[in-house]
Structure 1
Amino acid sequence: MNTVSLGEDLGIEASADLKERLAAHLDDPAVALDGGAVRRVHTAAMQVLCAFYRSRAEHGRSTELASCSEPLRDAARLLGLGGTLGLGSNEPTVDGREKKNPVEKAA
Structure 2
Amino acid sequence: MLPFKRTFIFILACSGFGIAAADTFPEDYLNAVTVEARQGVVIDVSPLAEGEMDQVEFAGGLIYIYRRTAQDLKDLERSAATTTVSAEDYLLSVRQAYGSSISSVWARLLLLAEK
Fold match (TM-score > 0.5) = no
Which one scores higher on RCO, CA 8 angstroms, separation ≥ 6? Answer: 1
More strand by share: 1
Structure showing greater Rg: 2
Higher helix proportion, which one? 2
